[in-house]
Structure 1
Amino acid sequence: MSADRSTAGAAAAGFKRDMIAALPNLRAFAVSLIGASDKADDLVQDTIMKAWAKQDSFTHGTNIKAWLFTILRNEFYSQMRKRGREVQDSEGTLTERLSVHPEQYGSLDMRDFRRALDTLPEDQREALILVGASGFSYEEASEICGCAVGTIKSRINRGRQKLQEILYIEGPSDYGPDALSAPVTSQAFVA
């Protein structure tokens, strides 16, 4: 068992030695990819950290330099892809304009809507759910309910009017964010 430990220790020492010996070449390759020496140093450091963490996957006796260059190249391209998806906003200008309506109001509105929907007569509720929520046409809903298309339209109209009464909806401004948060979030998109 001690022979296995000494062999593993020698392999780890050899791996470390070979990795350190490859550093100047790795750095030169990184500089040729990036151009800036400070960023190249960061890339080499990331490469060494990844190689050290994955040294079990390296086959001893093969070309460690090629293995390290492959890791560096893959890391470089991964960082470039990531930067392509990121937006530079060091001044915070873009962040200041971002805003989101509070979620709790939507949850409360949905709860109120469900309660109001439950108070409707069953035929009106069924027609509203079939056409409004499930996406069926008036004709399809009339076939499902076994009644005329005009009856479905009438049930939906009466159901909508009753929901507006129950929920105190007078117009389009009653939908969406409340009066306090609407000016804040809509102003954010004006810039």
Structure 2
Amino acid sequence: MDDVDDGTRLGQVLLRLKAALRDAEAERQITKAFGDELIALVPRLRRFARLRTGSEAEADDMVQATLMRAWEHRSQFQAGTNLVGWLFTILRNTHLNQRKRRRREVEDVDGLFAGALSAAPDQEHRIALFELQAALDALPAEQRETLLLVTVDGLRHDEAAEVLGCQVGTVKSRVSRARERLSATLGLA
């Protein structure tokens, strides 16, 4: 950890990781050798990450992600096996996953693409939708169900009557009353 500044994000992660390693060792979750070797491999991981990314900041982020994954999956590591290979595999997979993710991202340095994606304010529409939903919820269940079958699902009155098991006139009456109540509740009458 000789070239990692404690003030950087990676340095802070290493300090927390060291503390967690000490605690895990005290609780016999890991061996001292595992913790020591893990910390000792950080400079090699950083070198490999820099080769893959070409960026010191990206490399440190990759090493940080690698250490976090190694810590999360420490129970999967089998003592006596190759810790170096295990960590470098995690680092390589982390890098490949980041590259896949970046391929789906759109670079927009000047903000032109983001500017084209802007949407008109929709607060009024949301408020109106909430008010409509509240007014629908306030209707008696038969009226609400009948109104939705006819207006939203597009059933004809005779089809709705068949679904509901009632007369066509009952459907027409329920739809009419529901519309009147909605109009009054929403202030449209």
Which TM-score tier does this pair reach, normalised by the shorter chain?
0.5 to 0.7
Deviation at 1:63, TM superposition (A): 0.6
Aligned match of 1:112 in 135, 150, 169? 135
Deviation at 1:47, TM superposition (A): 1.5
Deviation at 1:15, TM superposition (A): 1.8
Q: Would you say the 8 A contact 1:31–1:40 is kept in 2? A: yes
In the alignment, which residue of structure 1 is the partner of 2:151? Answer: 132
Deviation at 1:57, TM superposition (A): 2.8
Deviation at 1:34, TM superposition (A): 1.7
Partner letter of residue 11 of structure 1? T
Mapping 1:9-158, distance limit 5 Å: 11-12=31-32, 14-83=33-102, 94=114, 97=118, 99-101=121-123, 106-115=129-138, 117-118=139-140, 127-132=146-151, 135=153, 137-138=155-156, 139-143=158-162, 144-148=164-168, 151=169, 154-155=172-173, 158=176
> How many percent identity over aligned positions?
31
Q: Structure 2 vs 1, CA of residues 108 and 89 (structure 1 numbering), >3 Å: closer, same or farther? A: farther
Q: Structure 2 vs 1, CA of residues 27 and 128 (structure 1 numbering), >3 Å: closer, same or farther? A: same
Deviation at 1:87, TM superposition (A): 6.4
Count matched residues: 157
Which segment drifts farther, 52-61 or 64-73?
A: 52-61
Q: Would you say the 8 A contact 1:141–1:152 is kept in 2? A: no
Cα deviation digits, residues 104-149 of structure 1 (max 9, x gap): 654343223443x34x9x6x6563243335x37224312234434x
Gapped runs of 5+ residues in structure 1?
171-191
Which segment drifts farther, 62-71 or 30-39?
A: 30-39
Q: What do you get for the CA RMSD once the two structures are aligned?
A: 4.2
TM (norm. structure 2) is 0.56
Gapped runs of 5+ residues in structure 2?
1-24
